[in-house]
Structure 1
Amino acid sequence: MDGHRTGTADTRARIRALATGRGRPRRPSGGVLPRTLPWESAMTRMWPGTKIICLTVLTSALLLRPMWSTLAAVSVLLLAGSVAARVPLQALPRLPLWFWSGIGGAMIGATLGGGLWIFVRSLAVAALVVWGSMLLIWSTAPDRLTPAFRSLMTPMRWLRLPVDEWSASMGLALRGIPSLRDEAAAVTDTARLRSGGKPPDGFKEGLRLMVDIITASLSASSRRASDTGRAMTLRGGVPPVPRERVRLGWRDGIALVLTGAAAALVVAVAVGAIPDPFQVLGPS
């Protein structure tokens, strides 16, 4: 009984330390795949299809018209969404030193070639696209995304397209993200143990280590995908996608209105109806 009480007290103390931000484990370096945040927020109460629509519109605006005004508008919306989702700083991936070294070297080369602002803008576009995708995963459980995809692709049934098969494939891919994350973490920890925690000596050794980690992760993921395929075949094929009732609330309306306003701003600046206030940073 005393041991049980002591264990319970230790568990409560650990939970209290995590809640107050003390005693949190150090985040591993490297590109960590995001996971759904374990709490309710304004973003989680939205219909997943609304978030998919907003992300599609913002990503399309970034890729079609990567102007400075577009970058600013999308950044403001993603920042507001991150605040609404209550994303903590601990959820952000901690990129390794070699990544920042490569960015610094590329920036120096772009500066010498006269394309510094073009490089910065391209880097910002890539970062915003990744940020939007991570925000969608942070605020939405994978099992809710599949029915939302199916609802959004319902009009394609008129063209006799395999909507159910596509939705099931997306669902399987989303369910495989945690497995891929676990496999990558296990391979990275194994490589770190074999090297004794020492960083690789030189660029070639670091590149070789990265290739080995990627190859091992892909091999393990392929083996797990093969096992999943065999299990699906034994159970009768692709499982049906559950239907979800579309329920839109005031949060969905606000998100759609803000996204529409950002898209209208991008179009107005593109056609010249509104001057680009960030034109001083370089041509768009």
Structure 2
Amino acid sequence: MSMQSVPLRQVPGNSFVHRLWAGTKLLIVLALGVMTWVLPSWPALGLVAAIVVLTAIVAGIPLGAIPRPPWWFWGLIIAGGVLNVVFGPAALIVYLRAVTLGLVLVASSILVIWTTPMAEIAPAIATLMRPLRIFRMPVDEWAVAIALCLRGLPLLIEEMRLLRAAHRLRPSAPARSGHPAAEMGVVDMITAAMSSALRRSAEMAEAITARGGTGRLTAYPSRPGRMDAVALLVIGIACAAAITLTLVL
């Protein structure tokens, strides 16, 4: 995974986007995702892309933080487009819409992580899922699990990068030479990464237990404010405009 930066880390800042409640950002991503999934038109996709770009500019996201996918990622997209050309222009347009939808949704999700401290994710998710407590569902446990997964992904990505760098430094040997360098493959790196992830998760569990358990992770005082209401109103108006424009066209 040849990326010069790890995308799942917070970018420090004090912009309007950074000060929004984490739950508001999650609701905005959910609303944009549902709208583009139900109505994947070019106006809707263009609106979401414009919102992502403008939000990144307002948040002051530097260009160096933008991940750079490897060449085979773009190669697979181009290969998929070539295959869809065989089925006609309509299939190609549907394919391009699907690819654009995926890229835009991934970009909006990463933007939330860039502008939100990980400590605010679990309380926000627990607050948004509070109605499910009526059905006696483990809302706090779900929120903690989601937050810890988001927190652990950058560590796992970094671990894979270190393992791959160490693999490149090993001496090369023919595949059937019996040398230990020839036996190190992708499966071995994945196994080593999983072992490291288990070790890190055990250490994180001990730290959480020492600090009072998972309940403290969801008890962080965070509530929406006026800026959140304004942001949700603007997104609602923009979504309504995109849907109206799509139906008119």
Whether these two folds match at TM > 0.5 is: yes
- Summarize the alignment of residues 179-194 of structure 1 with structure 2, pairs less than 5 Å apart: 179-194=155-170
Call closer, same or farther: CA 1:73–1:253 in 2, change over 3 Å: same
Look up the equivalent residue of 2:121 and give its one-letter code: L
1:263-282 per-position Cα deviation (integer Å, ceiling 9, x unaligned): 32344356x3xx23xxxxxx
- In structure 2, C-alpha distance between the alignment counterparts of 1:110 and 1:210, rounded to whole Å: 31
Deviation of the 1:157 alpha carbon: 1.9
Which 10-residue stretch deviates more, 235-244 or 253-262? 235-244
- TM-score normalised by structure 1 residue count: 0.72
1:215-266 per-position Cα deviation (integer Å, ceiling 9, x unaligned): 543343234334544666788754432231414133x233212210133234
Call closer, same or farther: CA 1:38–1:195 in 2, change over 3 Å: farther
Per the alignment, residue 105 of structure 1 pairs with 79
Q: Is the 8 A contact 1:36 1:138 kept in 2?
A: yes
Question: What's the % identity of the aligned pairs?
Answer: 32
Per the alignment, residue 100 of structure 2 pairs with 124
2:13 paired with 1:45: no
- In structure 2, C-alpha distance between the alignment counterparts of 1:69 and 1:195, rounded to whole Å: 53
Deviation of the 1:54 alpha carbon: 0.6
Deviation of the 1:85 alpha carbon: 1.0
- In structure 1, C-alpha distance between the alignment counterparts of 2:92 and 2:125, rounded to whole Å: 39
- In structure 2, C-alpha distance between the alignment counterparts of 1:210 and 1:31, rounded to whole Å: 22
- In structure 2, C-alpha distance between the alignment counterparts of 1:225 and 1:231, rounded to whole Å: 10
Q: Is the 8 A contact 2:140 2:215 kept in 1?
A: no
Give secondary structure in 1 for the equivalent of 2:16. coil
Give secondary structure in 2 for the equivalent of 1:265. helix
- In structure 1, C-alpha distance between the alignment counterparts of 2:157 and 2:54, rounded to whole Å: 27
- In structure 2, the gaps of 5 or more residues are 173-183
Give secondary structure in 2 for the equivalent of 1:93. coil
- In structure 2, C-alpha distance between the alignment counterparts of 1:209 and 1:94, rounded to whole Å: 24
Call closer, same or farther: CA 1:119–1:235 in 2, change over 3 Å: same
Call closer, same or farther: CA 1:243–1:269 in 2, change over 3 Å: same
- In structure 2, C-alpha distance between the alignment counterparts of 1:79 and 1:237, rounded to whole Å: 38
Deviation of the 1:126 alpha carbon: 0.5
Q: Is the 8 A contact 1:74 1:262 kept in 2?
A: no
Per the alignment, residue 5 of structure 1 pairs with none
- In structure 2, C-alpha distance between the alignment counterparts of 1:50 and 1:162, rounded to whole Å: 22
Q: Is the 8 A contact 1:31 1:95 kept in 2?
A: no
Q: Is the 8 A contact 2:126 2:140 kept in 1?
A: yes
Per the alignment, residue 226 of structure 2 pairs with 249
Deviation of the 1:183 alpha carbon: 1.1
- In structure 2, C-alpha distance between the alignment counterparts of 1:69 and 1:148, rounded to whole Å: 30
Deviation of the 1:80 alpha carbon: 1.4
1:41-60 per-position Cα deviation (integer Å, ceiling 9, x unaligned): 22111111111111110011
1:180-202 per-position Cα deviation (integer Å, ceiling 9, x unaligned): 23212212222332378xxxxxx
- In structure 2, C-alpha distance between the alignment counterparts of 1:125 and 1:216, rounded to whole Å: 34
Task: Output the aligned Cα RMSD.
Answer: 2.8
2:194 paired with 1:218: yes
Call closer, same or farther: CA 1:235–1:78 in 2, change over 3 Å: closer
Look up the equivalent residue of 2:165 and give its one-letter code: D
1:14-73 per-position Cα deviation (integer Å, ceiling 9, x unaligned): xxxxxxxxxxxxx95378432100222221111111111111100111222211121011
Call closer, same or farther: CA 1:53–1:184 in 2, change over 3 Å: same
Aligned residues: 235
- TM-score normalised by structure 2 residue count: 0.81
Deviation of the 1:82 alpha carbon: 0.8
Q: Is the 8 A contact 1:34 1:91 kept in 2?
A: no
Deviation of the 1:140 alpha carbon: 0.4
Per the alignment, residue 71 of structure 1 pairs with 45
Call closer, same or farther: CA 1:230–1:58 in 2, change over 3 Å: same
Give secondary structure in 1 for the equivalent of 2:18. coil
Look up the equivalent residue of 2:138 and give its one-letter code: P
Which residue of the other structure, out of 122, 126, 134, is the alignment partner of 1:146?
122
